[in-house]
Chains A and B, each alone.
Chain A
Amino acid sequence: MRVWRARDADYRTQAPVKAAIRARNSSRGTVRAPVAAAWAVAKFEFRGKSALITLIDLPFAVSPVIAGMIFILVFGTHGWFGGSLKAHHIHVVFAIPGIVLATIFVTFPFIARELIPVMQAQGKEDEETALSLGATGWQTFWRVTLPNIRWGLLYGVLLCNARAMGEFGAVSVVSGHIRGLTNTMPLHVEILYNEYNYTAAFAVASLLALLALLTLAGKSFLEWRQPELRRATHLPRDRTRRVNT
């Protein structure tokens, strides 16, 4: 029972919820851009393609703390856009948008890197056929590309979600550690630990670990479904219908 004797009562319920919201928000934002990037890299030839690939990998190479510092530099009170943001009463740093931005940056490569090989393996002929049959770019993407990558995409989102929940460095810099507002679970673990509140720290850490285990279970599930569903033979009909129309 001592586990729940953490400082303020509200926070106990809020921390996991916040983490979940953050994971969801950033996943949503994190899905579109990397899918677009992966599509461009896998299916098209254009100038600056290798530059784009480098850009996708950048978050892997850069320490998340540096990413956080860059966000402070850009959006902070004394940063490049700090003044104009303040004038419009938009809070980025030390608020939820900052956390979401930092998480998007850190998780960006997960989905793109997951999708590029899947898309490359599938080749361009499906898309070319769709275009020759008169489909527009959007129709081609929604009706042909997306259904073919949906399991890979879900897998990427899952990995991205796991990373988002656990992200420490970048978020630590931009969040401001405001309890009940911008604190996240990993940050909270650190605070509790620094306050010598070991029990609570380990409790929250355990909760985080549990979420990780759930993620792993989800990942195993997808890996188990994927090869079967890729063959498309066993695909229940109603499912394909929903995707097509």
Chain B
Amino acid sequence: MSIALRGVTKQFGDYAAVEGIDLDVATGALMALLGPSGSGKTTLLRIIGGLETPDAGQVLFDGQDATLWPIGDRKVGFVFQQYALFRHMTVFENVAFGLKVKRRRERPSAKVIRTKVQDLLALVQLEWAHDRYAAQLSGGQRQRVALARAMAVDPQVLLLDEPFGALDSQVRHELRRWLRRLHDELHFTSIIVTHDQQEAIEVADTVVVLNQGKIEQAGIPGEIYDLPKSAFVHRFLGQVNELPVKLRDGRAYIGPIDIAAAADMQTGSTKNIALIRPHEVEIGDVASGWPATVVAVRVIGPIVRLDLCADGQPIHEPLEAEIGRERFEAERFSLGQRVGMRFRRWQVYPAAA
């Protein structure tokens, strides 16, 4: 099922949770709504699912106006961060719930229900747990039960609200990949809400970055990461170093590095900042670039992160640089060492943003 939002707005008292959102989700797509807390991503998901009614605007399912459809008619499956498993029911009863509450005419026979629930439990690899209660399962297992329960009623849309937020990073990583495989096999339309940029980039076809109730940018994950349209998106999608851009004699500089003719800085602002990701910082001998001192070295598995205090920059705001482990093994940067920095890439934004 394709979903479209047209000018969707929702206020909570004086606070605008979402404002004039236009969004299209193609059939079978896996979209991530990414944003900090309070950005309106969960509200948007709840509006699509029918748990909230928008104050203005339309929700279209396959082109039909579904804005006021009751939640039960929308064919959506919900998965929440806290699993929301029914505590007093076994895993089997949880998954069977959606089938058992159907109207008598539509309700499958007990035998059909049993087969279907068993199939779903097999899909989430939890057949052995059918007579357990939620309290007896781990977080990852509970979330898989919640997924099986949502899929029992054959939803056309799966809405996941920070589904892996309460899990530790190993399980999270595993479940993400598993969800992606499941999505590719079963072809429903999925929308996942997350504040974890890595999760969004890893799992989704399309990432929509939200900020203060508005869409900042939407696109495929690689494009959003490489070509952020605003400083907000740039900052939100990963670590960044922020440096002021100074104009001197018609040229623009980051520190002593000449980056462009001032006339080419088309930000419409005279005060600008440059954002540079840690892996875009290049390190060589002192003479090769902006002189700096190594003030911290952290080896994190395959990468090594260096804190560099550039000359002329405040001491308490060191820049972060990332280099590969092999390079580090070969060159052995040590504390206090003097190096020269250059930037492989940067992006300039008006300072106010």
Contact = CB atoms under 8 A, between A and B. Distances in A.
B91 to A, nearest CB: 12
Interface string B37-76: 0000000000001110000000000000000000110101
Interface stretch (B129-137, B314-322, B339-347): B129-137
A91 to B, nearest CB: 43
A216 interface: no
A125 B86 contact: no
A88 interface: no
Interface string B83-105: 01011111001000110011000
B82 interface: yes
Nearest to A139: B101
Nearest to A129: B84
Interface string B169-204: 000000000000000000000000000000000000
Interface residues of A, number: 25
A132 B82 CA distance: 16
Given A133-B97, A240-B89, A125 B84 contact: yes
Contact of B152 (A130, A133, A143, A240): A133
Contact of B101 (A135, A147, A243): A135
A139 B77 CA distance: 18
B80 A125 contact: yes
A232 B84 contact: no
Contact of A233 (B74, B98, B136, B146): B136
Contact of A148 (B87, B93, B101): B87
Interface residues of B, number: 32
A218 to B, nearest CB: 22
Interface in A116-137: 123, 125-126, 128-136
- The residue in B51, B97, B102, B152 that gathers the most chain A C-beta atoms within 10 A of its C-beta is B97
Contacts of A63: none
A144 interface: yes
Contacts of A130: 86, 97, 101
Contact of B86 (A123, A144, A237): A144
Contacts of A237: 90, 131
B51 A128 contact: yes
A232 B134 contact: yes
A175 B86 CA distance: 46
B55 to A, nearest CB: 14
A132 B76 contact: yes
A207 B182 CA distance: 67
Contacts of B84: 123, 125-126, 128-129
Nearest to B46: A128
B135 A129 contact: no
Contacts of B136: 233
Nearest to A150: B88
Contacts of A148: 87-88
Contact of B88 (A123, A125, A139, A240): A240
Interface in B127-171: 131, 133-136, 146, 149-150, 152-153
A172 B180 CA distance: 69
Interface in B99-116: 101-102
B236 interface: no
B88 A147 contact: yes
B349 interface: no
A244 B89 contact: yes
A123 to B, nearest CB: 8
Nearest to A146: B88
A231 interface: yes
Interface in A213-243: 231-233, 235, 237, 240, 243
A226 to B, nearest CB: 14
B151 to A, nearest CB: 10
Given A148-B88, A232-B133, A233-B133, A132 B78 contact: yes
A244 B98 CA distance: 13
Interface of B: 49-51, 71-72, 74, 76-78, 80, 82, 84, 86-90, 93, 97-98, 101-102, 131, 133-136, 146, 149-150, 152-153
The 10 nearest A-B residue pairs measured at CB: A133-B98, A125-B84, A135-B101, A147-B88, A132-B78, A232-B87, A134-B72, A233-B135, A129-B84, A125-B80
20 contacts: A123-B82, A126-B84, A128-B51, A128-B84, A129-B86, A130-B86, A132-B49, A133-B98, A133-B101, A134-B102, A134-B153, A139-B101, A144-B86, A232-B133, A232-B134, A232-B135, A233-B135, A235-B133, A244-B88, A244-B93
Given A131-B51, A244-B93, 16 more contacts: A128-B71, A128-B84, A129-B84, A132-B72, A132-B74, A132-B77, A133-B98, A134-B98, A135-B101, A136-B72, A139-B101, A143-B97, A144-B86, A231-B135, A233-B136, A240-B88
